[in-house]
Structure 1
């Protein structure tokens, strides 16, 4: 079974789109499999309806469809490619509250496209606070993208707020010239205003942090681990 250079889990709103451009410049677009079909955040997606069956099917596929690929990058659960050899398994994370706000603003801007949870958010015209209470958003890291995952299994974890410096470190680790392009701006015009208003409302911000407590603990542990590794 051929070894991939990199398996990259693109966590939504964590600099993954900009990072793809860095990967494309280094490896060439034709050598990157962009895997965005699983809809991890959709309650109706196979990985959520039947986790064990979905994972068994992933294991059975093995390296099918990966001929000529050097990198896999996309929105998928890390265990999807657990049986495949790879030099590096990497991801980027972001402060859970900031990530939540960015995701909320992005979904409010985007039309529905067959994603059950996104459609519900639009149909119900949910506020940010109601959005944060949804189980799939409340435990976005711990219950969805990294459900049953130990980050010790990753070779590199970067962070959105220092993505440029972290990509430079990853470039040295990977042995390829990775350089992050200009940041990918949130398309919602009111995004910056939403962030500024929330930061001024300390009580509301505290309530959001209480809701996202599990993910915040996960994030802080990952950050501390990465800082120790970089020291």
Structure 2
């Protein structure tokens, strides 16, 4: 079994999770990547990824030989997702504006940052950080997507899904991070919101997915990673696979304007997903030929469980001029 890959987005309860994981797995069973200069970064990571030869595959082999249970750090998802697989990849997201305020307080406290909060959030590198950490990986595909604001429930899902026993901790919690946010004028808050609208949209999707998965978990229903990818005048297409160990395809119902239009199994190859190492060698796609017109409402459902995706019907767009 490949190790877990933890994408540690700053100020999302990642330190609590990291220390909890050390308690569960043992510190020696975890390799960290927090950059070449970080004292936390593991020697194995530095040797393979920050030396003269940048050898990700070699690191993966060395990690397997070391028996690592988890790899984690402030790295983008595409750093190791092709190595360990999207099903073993996990992260936590946080409401964007409090997250960036907490990030600012952290820089002031630990890096002696002297600029104002507005100076800080005006820097492009500090905007939409959560989206950039996950760029190229759909939320629906992640093995586990947790929420900082619901950290206890997130751990419950994580431990049940991966068979782990990571304890609940609350570490590295800044006490003044909200102050900078509260001090903003209405115009500045609007500016901050506009600058981080991608993260705000991402977080809204994450909340919906989290609540749906938690509901399925509480009801004892299996979860399917699933996404509707294409709706146009001629067809509906997407992908889905089971979150548990079963290798069977998912039977997907396609609903158009509130009526079931057909059913198809997820057995088609999706080459664009193969870099994420999904189950079934990437044969997780489906499509249904259909005659659709702009404004039609399309939604899919997992036949076995009744799980809807997307969570709300999607309207067929008008053709481009």
Distance across 1 between alignment mates of 2:130 and 2:177: 22
1:32 — aligned with what? 30
Distance across 2 between alignment mates of 1:166 and 1:96: 18
Structure 1 position 135, deviation (Å): 1.2
2:51 — aligned with what? none
1:118 — aligned with what? none
2:54 corresponds to 1:65: no
Match 1:176 to one of 164, 183, 200: 164
2:124 — aligned with what? 135
For the residue of structure 1 that corresponds to 2:62, the secondary structure is: coil
Q: Which runs of 4+ in 1 moved over 4 A?
A: 57-60
Q: If the length of structure 2 is used for normalisation, what is the TM-score?
A: 0.56
Distance across 2 between alignment mates of 1:95 and 1:149: 19
2:95 — aligned with what? 95
Structure 1 position 192, deviation (Å): 4.4
Distance across 2 between alignment mates of 1:34 and 1:7: 10
- Between Structure 1 and Structure 2, which shows a larger proportion of strand residues? 2
Long gaps (5+) in structure 2? 38-53, 216-321
Match 1:126 to one of 105, 115, 118: 115
* C-alpha contact (below 8 Å) 2:102/2:178 kept by paired residues: no
1:4 — aligned with what? 2
Distance across 1 between alignment mates of 2:98 and 2:36: 24
Distance across 1 between alignment mates of 2:144 and 2:25: 18
Distance across 2 between alignment mates of 1:30 and 1:145: 26
- Between Structure 1 and Structure 2, which shows a larger proportion of helix residues? 1
2:76 — aligned with what? 77
Q: Which of the pair has more CA radius of gyration?
A: 2
Distance across 2 between alignment mates of 1:85 and 1:94: 24
For the residue of structure 2 that corresponds to 1:4, the secondary structure is: coil
Long gaps (5+) in structure 1? 40-56, 113-121
Distance across 2 between alignment mates of 1:8 and 1:84: 13
1:206 — aligned with what? 190
RMSD: 2.4
Distance across 1 between alignment mates of 2:141 and 2:2: 16
2:143 corresponds to 1:159: no
1:149 — aligned with what? 137
1:229 — aligned with what? 213
Aligned length: 197
Bigger relative CO (Cα 8 Å, ≥ 6 apart) = 1
* C-alpha contact (below 8 Å) 1:13/1:102 kept by paired residues: yes
Distance across 1 between alignment mates of 2:96 and 2:36: 22
1:43 — aligned with what? none
Measured against aligned partners, the alpha-carbon deviations of 1:15-68 in whole angstroms (never above 9, x if no partner) come to: 0000012111111111111121169xxxxxxxxxxxxxxxxx555435143122
- Correspondences of 1:17-56 after superposition (within 5 Å): 17-37=15-35
2:192 corresponds to 1:193: no
Distance across 1 between alignment mates of 2:139 and 2:2: 19
Inter-CA distance 38–215: structure 2 relative to 1 (3 Å threshold): farther
